[in-house]
């Protein structure tokens, strides 16, 4: 059962409790106002997690877009260096960097198995460490270019200032992904706490309320029969 389905089940459970004229528990956390408050808290936590997950995907996608153009940029740098009369050793260094980039090209997407029930996720161009390494290597390349006195292209993206700006963008994207992943992780922890881990979580509260309903109306009552089949199982997001 997903978190959203668990929230739906809890909302339905609370609605049933609100319709029972004899529902008047002594425990403050089981009162109707407390049940409704917890339902709102759960929805807020769920929405916060969705927002954090979306932000993480957006940060990851934007990073991929920027890094995808890096190979073409480095190729342009190599020709600009050659045109400026760079030494053969300098050209050899940039060719090494180009080969390193090619080795990190996006691989073939996995072929789904007929037996698999999980969605197949496409390969990412680089791993997280690969993005960090590529940004650092590109920064080293830019430092090498900055030491070339005859490297003076007029194109803004190839200029020394433009390359420095690209270094900032690459590091900025990596930091944005790290921040977004941390925010999503914190949101998931908070969500799980509201639904399962807290002493007054949805599951703990619903189970306690069901026991109260059984004690008041009885095992074979219509009231208890309505809620006894509502199950709350652990979910993953």
Among 152, 6, 176, smallest CA distance to 77 is for 152
Record the tokens describing residue 57, joined without a space.
């995907």
For residue 21, what pLDDT is reported? 82
Q: pLDDT at position 124, please? A: 52
Q: Are 179 and 219 in contact (CB under 8 A)?
A: no
pTM for this one? 0.77
Q: Which one is predicted more confidently, 235 or 198?
A: 198
More confident residue, 196 or 51: 51
What is the Cα–Cα distance from 83 to 78, expressed in whole angstroms?
A: 9
Cβ-proximal residues to 17 (8 Å cutoff; 6+ apart), any chain: 23, 32, 35, 209, 213, 227
Q: What is the pLDDT of residues 62-81, one digit of tens each?
A: 999 999 999 899 999 999 99
Alpha-helix residue ranges (DSSP H) falling in the chain: 3-18, 32-68, 70-83, 88-103, 128-146, 160-192, 202-217, 222-228
Helix (H) or strand (E) holding 37: helix 32-68
Cβ atoms < 10 Å from Cβ of 230: 13
Does pLDDT of 234 surpass 70?
Answer: no
Largest Cα–Cα separation, the chain: 91
| The dihedral sign for the CA sequence 30, 36, 37, 41 | positive
pLDDT at 87 over 70: yes
pLDDT at position 63: 95
Condensed to tens digits (0 to 9), the pLDDT of residues 134-174 reads 999 999 999 999 999 999 999 999 999 999 999 999 999 99
In percent, how much of the chain has pLDDT > 70?
Answer: 86
Q: Express each pLDDT in 101-112 by its tens digit.
A: 766 554 433 433
Average pLDDT, the chain: 85
pLDDT in tens, 158-167: 999 999 999 9
| CA gap 55, 47 in Å, rounded | 12
């Amino acid at each position: 059962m997903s978190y959203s389905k668990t929230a739906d089940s809890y909302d339905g459970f609370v609605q049933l409790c609100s319709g029972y004229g004899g529902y008047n528990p002594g425990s403050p956390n089981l009162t109707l106002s407390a049940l409704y408050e917890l339902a709102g808290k759960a929805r807020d936590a769920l929405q916060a997690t969705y927002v954090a997950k979306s932000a993480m995907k957006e940060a990851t996608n934007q990073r991929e877009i920027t890094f995808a153009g890096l190979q073409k940029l480095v190729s342009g740098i190599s020709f600009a260096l050659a045109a400026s009369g760079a030494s053969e050793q300098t050209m050899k260094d940039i060719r090494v960097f180009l080969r390193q980039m090619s080795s990190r090209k996006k691989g073939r997407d996995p072929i789904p198995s007929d037996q698999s029930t999980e969605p197949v996720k496409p390969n990412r161009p680089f791993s997280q460490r690969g993005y960090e390494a590529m940004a650092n290597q590109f920064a080293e390349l830019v430092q090498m270019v900055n030491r070339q006195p005859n490297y003076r292209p007029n194109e803004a993206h190839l200029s020394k200032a433009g390359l420095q700006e690209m270094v900032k963008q690459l590091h900025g994207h990596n930091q944005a992904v790290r921040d977004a992943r941390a925010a999503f992780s914190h949101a998931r922890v908070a969500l799980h706490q509201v639904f399962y881990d807290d002493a007054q979580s949805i599951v703990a509260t619903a189970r306690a309320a069901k026991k109260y309903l059984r004690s008041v109306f009885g095992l074979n009552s219509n009231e208890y029969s309505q809620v006894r089949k509502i199950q709350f199982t652990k979910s993953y997001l």
